[in-house]
Amino acid sequence: MIRYISTILFLSSLFSISLQEIYDNAISQNGYDKYISLERDSIYTGGIGIYEGNIFINCNSAIIDLESGNGIWIYSDEQYNSSLEIEYCNIINGDYYGLSFGGNSTGYIKNCNLLNTNYGLKLFDESNVTVTNSIFALNETYGIGIYTEIPILDITYSLFWENIEDDCMENCPGWGNIWTQLEPNPGTGIIYENPLFENYNNLNFNFIQNSPCINNGNPLIIDQDGSISDIGANTYNQLECLILGDLNSDGTINVLDITNAICEVLSNGCIAECNWDMNHDNGLNVLDIIIIMNIIINNY
């Protein structure tokens, strides 16, 4: 049985919307047939099927909750070509998979978290997928499952942790339903450690300060704070907080800061990266939360 991540961030869930609706309404842009940019503070629900076109999805650290259903699948053949580039996505709670590529589809997965699904990533047929800076953790079967030896997987600077049966496995032809362990590209930045999320059960996928994901990503990619890239969908901002009340240092005050503040008041193990004594009374309490809420309301 999938261990469903509890949605304690009830304020964020108010903004949830069907990923299928977003996909259906997406327009062509920047050379892509569908160009999708999600809102950082939102939770999107359900998966999508891609069978035609060159698709780009930037989740901006938003959450895609598959709600115990299918994930995002991509299939391509000689008649209909399809590909997916996806980045900065937290994909969770899938009964089957987070991402699946089949036919001769191609993909580029960058800075994604595939968590609490059956398979984080599935590859079939002649698919060709590149993965970098991504986390495969707490999946019920495998982090990555490759069917036959034909699919091509190029994975670097990624983390595997506590995938129940194994991290990366290959189903070899001629052996029936027998899986063999696959070590993805040894020596290219693969880590097998706890990513140290701030509060996994509360859907807070930011990192605590000593996370092995910080600055251990692809050195050719630079984060917004000017450091070597991090592994995972939520990058760690090492710059000093410049905005009072921006608890997660993402450059804006929003509903995520409220949820962090609530956790702090309730002493629930949440970690605020920045000071949030909004009224300067040397105390962190509900009055500070109200001030943050008023800031958000006045900005809308």
Note the pLDDT tens digit of each residue in 101-160.
999 999 999 999 999 999 999 999 999 999 999 999 999 999 999 998 899 999 999 999
- What CATH number has the domain spanning 240-300? 1.10.1330.10
Question: Pick the residue with more confidence: 271 or 178?
Answer: 178
Q: Which residues pair with 101 in a beta bridge?
A: 74, 123
State the Cα–Cα distance between residues 34 and 57, nearest whole angstrom.
8
Listed in sequence order, the DSSP H helices in 114-267 are: 255-265
**pLDDT tens digit sequence for 182-212:** 777 667 899 999 999 988 988 999 998 899 9
pLDDT at residue 77 in the model = 93
What is the C-alpha separation between 226 and 248, in angstroms, rounded? Answer: 17
Nearest to 208 by CA among 249, 245, 246, 243: 249
> The sheet that has 90-92: what strands, in order across it?
17-18, 43-45, 63-65, 90-92, 113-115, 135-137, 159-161
Residue range 168-184: average pLDDT? 70
Rounded to an integer, the average pLDDT of 6-18 is: 55
Which pLDDT does position 9 carry in this prediction?
43
Residue with tokens 């059960």: 201
- Indicate the pLDDT class of residue 170, thresholds 50, 70 and 90: confident
Which pLDDT score is estimated for 12? 46
Indicate if the alpha-carbon torsion angle 131, 80, 71, 117 is positive or negative. Answer: negative
Instruction: Give the integer Cα–Cα distance in Å for 104 and 152.
Output: 10
Mean pLDDT of the 283-289 span = 78
Rounded CA-CA distance 53/121 in Å is 20
Q: Quick one: pLDDT at residue 291?
A: 84
pLDDT at res. 1: 39
Helix (H, G, I), strand (E, B) or coil at 298: helix
Query: Who has greater pLDDT, 169 or 194?
Result: 194
Comparing 153 with 40, which gets the higher pLDDT? 153
Give me the pLDDT at residue 274, please: 57
Neighbouring-strand partners of residue 152: 128
- The pLDDT value given to residue 164: 95
What's the average model confidence in pLDDT over 60-85?
A: 96
Q: Answer whether residue 7 shows pLDDT above 50.
A: no
Q: What is the DSSP-derived secondary structure letter of residue 241?
A: P
pTM: 0.77
Q: What are phi and psi of 32, to 5 degrees?
A: -105, 150
Between 216 and 208, the higher pLDDT residue: 216
The mean pLDDT value for 88-111 works out to: 97
Q: How confident is the model at residue 286 (pLDDT cuts 50, 70, 90)?
A: confident
Say what percent of the chain tops pLDDT 70: 83
